[in-house]
Structure 1
Amino acid sequence: MTDITKLPEPATIILAGATGELGFLIAGFILKRGGVVKALVRQGSSNPRVSELRRIGAEIIEVDFADVDELTRACAGGTCVVSALSGLRDVIVDMQMRLLNAAVAAGIPRFIPSDFSIDFTKLPDGSNRNLDLRREFGRMLNDAPIAATSILNGMFTDLLTGQAPVVLFKIKRVLYWGNADQPMDFTTMRDTADYTAAAALDPTTPRYLRIAGEVATIRDIQRAASEATGEKFGTLRPGGLGFLGTMIKITRTLSPQNDEVFPPWQGMQYLHNMLSGKPKMSPLDNDRYPDIRWTRIREVLAAR
């Protein structure tokens, strides 16, 4: 007779960076999908999201991210480590490497790094500082005795209403350099988090998963802005990609801000990459988890 009381235990996801915007969303979707979340947070963290994580059902584990032994103990019993950490070399390379070593030492079978970007595997070194760091860590991850999955989602669609100054609402223009018909990949942070949660709970994921909530050109964004606002938007092209490259060099020279994660020139590098077409993703893995409904650019612009 089968003992029906012995149900399979839910997967336990070790989540680093859970107090960030993306990480918090990932935690919520893992819990919604029936997983267990053990959120690693800095010792003594006063981030208000710590109490919110507890409220939604995550277990909080305070750790010293500089201590691999402590991280190893915190990772015990996990089925996958998900990193949603954000930062520069000290985080994306050094801290993630300690987390990776801890995951291996704890016997965790899978690791999802904090990549969440355009397809940096197709870009040359030096074209984007932040993506260079992800590529560097990726090489280390490839050499580690653990299964890895990077989730590449293009640009967060949410940035079109703020941090990425492409849709200029005041003057009703869509700003670009180069070719207005170049396809680009966009995915909302919420959809990326939902997909990441599904991937974290899926033991069969490949090395890379590529998604795009919408593939759109500048002209598509122009139409989406017009539909979302009910007002006619045009385009604004200051010049070609060569001109944008010169602007990036000047901006970085005059205002380097090298200790900031997203200085103005970094956003310009990202936009240059996208408009070049080099990191365009194909094929897409959108259909892997068919329950996800992808949010369109028009919806994001309408809800700003």
Structure 2
Amino acid sequence: MPALIVLAGATGDLGHRIALALRARGARVRALVRPGNTKPEVAALRARGVEIVEVDLKDAAALVRACAGAACVVSALSGLREVIVYAQTQLLDAAVSAGVPRFIPSDFSIDYTKLPAGSNRNLDLRREFNRRLDQAPIQATSVLNGMFMDLLTGQAPMVLFKLRRILYWGSADQPLDFTTIADTAAFTAAAALDPTTPRYLRVAGEVATVRGLQAAATAATGQRFGCLRAGGLWVLKLMIRITRRLVPAPNEVFPPWQGMQYLHNMFTGLPKFGALDNDRYPDLQWTKVREVLAARH
């Protein structure tokens, strides 16, 4: 019988793609959704053969039953402390109680293990949960994918299409890790079905410098792009401090200053991946920056 994967966060963009990638690999998928969830993704998942289980993550007994029989529990939950630390801890406890052998947390980021505490709020929460995960009697695997490449065309204001510039701070030669949401989902699905995964898996669809982004944007659009240096990393750090003071938005998952923290982390070079695990599953194909920018253009 095909392996059963229990997935939390399946109605989000990444989680939905993970569910579909798991089904494409022949896995049985049990998606945990909040009671009364009427998002169209629920019906779409059910139509693709995904088992939908409505469960309150605070209902420990129900959560244990929902995890029963799984080969791996995958979390694609998104949120702040209430979700990343507390809800994932409830999911982890249920997985352990149900005898599930493996757990994949909702990390999907740059390598936060190399960053100083306090440099990125959202990644600090992931680090906090993973300390709990490391103490649990379960095999854990975190998938780290750098920055979602898809954000280059929208939420991460690096590629300025109207100005035909690549905006950056610090060095234009700092290598940066990028992976599309779809490729991250495909890799995570393969990892969920692989009982031999290590504690961390690191992938990057493309490793590109600012000059590499410049070349990719020029090739994708047929228009000459330049580079726009907004200052050193200290300037970006000052901008973060000012923005956080003016627009604190403590209850938003991705306020403007959070994205700025992410860029600052990347441009320091500290979270840059060393060896990549891209070749672990040879059937996967990796999307390049030029392809993403061409689709946007």
TM-score band by shorter chain is over 0.9
Question: For 2:206, which of 178, 193, 214 is the aligned residue?
Answer: 214
SS in 2 for 1:232: coil
In the other structure, the counterpart of 1:253 is 245
**What is the correspondence of 1:239-250 to structure 2 with a 5 Å cutoff?**
239-250=231-242
Q: Distance in 1 between matches of 2:65 and 2:285?
A: 37
In the other structure, the counterpart of 1:56 is 48
In the other structure, the counterpart of 1:132 is 124
SS in 2 for 1:303: helix
The answer to whether structure 1 residue 274 and structure 2 residue 266 are counterparts is yes
Question: For 1:65, which of 57, 62, 86 is the aligned residue?
Answer: 57
Give aligned pairs, total. Answer: 296
Question: For 1:113, which of 83, 88, 105 is the aligned residue?
Answer: 105
The answer to whether structure 1 residue 45 and structure 2 residue 37 are counterparts is yes
The normalised TM-score by structure 1 is: 0.97
Unaligned runs of 5+ in 2: none
Q: Distance in 2 between matches of 1:65 and 1:139?
A: 20
**CA-to-partner distance for each residue in 1:36-83, whole Å, 9 max, x for gaps?**
100000000011100000011100000011111110011111110000
Structure 1 segments, 4+ long, off by >6 Å, are none
**What is the correspondence of 1:83-232 to structure 2 with a 5 Å cutoff?**
83-232=75-224
**Aligned-partner residue type, residue 192 of structure 2:** A
Identity %: 69
Q: Distance in 2 between matches of 1:57 and 1:176?
A: 44
Q: Distance in 2 between matches of 1:67 and 1:118?
A: 32
**Aligned-partner residue type, residue 201 of structure 1:** L
The answer to whether structure 1 residue 27 and structure 2 residue 19 are counterparts is yes
Q: Distance in 1 between matches of 2:184 and 2:60?
A: 29
**CA-to-partner distance for each residue in 1:167-216, whole Å, 9 max, x for gaps?**
00001000000000000100000000000000000000000000000000
In the other structure, the counterpart of 1:263 is 255
**Aligned-partner residue type, residue 20 of structure 1:** G
Unaligned runs of 5+ in 1: 1-8
SS in 1 for 2:272: coil
Q: Distance in 2 between matches of 1:238 and 1:53?
A: 44
The normalised TM-score by structure 2 is: 0.99
**Aligned-partner residue type, residue 164 of structure 2:** K
SS in 2 for 1:107: coil
